[in-house]
């Protein structure tokens, strides 16, 4: 069915997520962190992955645990929805402009998690949101999805634009990678014959 639903409850957060890979980018998001919800909406809409996220976290401390744990949960849901990955394109990339910001994202749904990150922000905050949490989200997402992910900022002066271009670039790359490959509809996209070992 290429969909998954899961819960993750800890002493810091309670997370419920659902994803449908063959969606239209529909989303229901409630993390308690407004800017983060805005970024998750970009991730859903531009990947065409339907996404539902409900999070209750220790926001009286800060946004860190909520953002990180949503990344963990969405990454695990993505891996579960992909199953054995037979028939997918596996790789995706995008060079995405947003006004003065330009971000490049490339990813491989290899099962080997890795993050290469070069996305400088000129400010430490976007409103009340810590810009360092953008990396924290993508670290958690990539590690738990089993994804090799490269994100590189090539231009940008506005932190909001830089963050949004990153989420959109990853979304477009993800859309490409999870799509069924019509030329190899049942084949694992690996010379090893599997991406699950």
Can you give the residue ranges of every domain in the chain? Answer: 3-178
Cα(22)–Cα(47) distance, integer angstroms: 10
Spatial neighbors of 115 by CB under 8 A, at least 6 apart, are 138, 139, 142, 143, 148, 149, 150, 151
Q: Give DSSP secondary structure letters for 116-148.
A: EEE---SSSEETTEETHHHHHHHHHHHHHHT-E
pLDDT (tens digit per residue) in 63-88: 999 999 999 999 999 999 999 999 99
Q: CA 19, 50, 144, 192: dihedral to nearest 10 degrees?
A: 90
Q: Is the dihedral of CA 24, 29, 35, 40 positive or negative?
A: negative
pLDDT (tens digit per residue) in 25-56: 999 999 999 999 999 999 999 999 999 999 99
Spatial neighbors of 38 by CB under 8 A, at least 6 apart, are 164
Class of 3-178 per CATH? alpha beta
**Phi-psi region at 69: left, alpha or beta (left = phi > 0; alpha = psi -120 to 50):** alpha
| Total-model pTM | 0.95
Output the CA–CA distances (angstroms, integers) from residue 89 to 38, 63, 97, 122, 180, in the order listed. Answer: 28, 34, 24, 35, 6
pLDDT (tens digit per residue) in 103-119: 999 999 999 999 999 99
pLDDT (tens digit per residue) in 143-188: 999 999 999 999 999 999 999 999 999 999 999 999 999 988 887 6
* DSSP state for residue 105 in the 8-state scheme: E
């Amino acid at each position: 069915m290429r969909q998954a639903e899961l819960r993750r409850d800890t002493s810091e957060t309670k997370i419920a997520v659902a994803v449908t890979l063959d969606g239209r980018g529909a989303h229901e998001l409630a993390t308690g962190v407004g800017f983060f919800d805005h970024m998750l909406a970009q991730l859903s809409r531009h990947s065409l992955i339907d996404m539902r996220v409900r999070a209750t976290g220790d926001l009286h401390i800060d946004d860190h645990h909520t953002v990180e744990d949503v990344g963990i949960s969405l990454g695990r849901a993505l891996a579960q929805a992909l199953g054995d990955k037979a028939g997918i394109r596996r790789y995706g990339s995008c060079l995405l402009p947003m006004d003065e910001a330009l971000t490049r994202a490339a990813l491989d749904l290899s099962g080997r998690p890795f993050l290469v990150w070069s996305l400088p922000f000129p400010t430490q905050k976007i409103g009340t949101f810590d810009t360092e949490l953008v990396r924290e989200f993508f670290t958690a997402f990539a590690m738990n999805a089993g994804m090799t992910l490269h994100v590189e900022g090539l231009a940008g002066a506005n932190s909001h634009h830089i963050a949004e271009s990153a989420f959109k670039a990853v979304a477009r790359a993800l859309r490409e990678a999870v799509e069924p490959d019509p030329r190899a509809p049942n084949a694992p996209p690996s010379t090893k014959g599997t991406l699950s070992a």
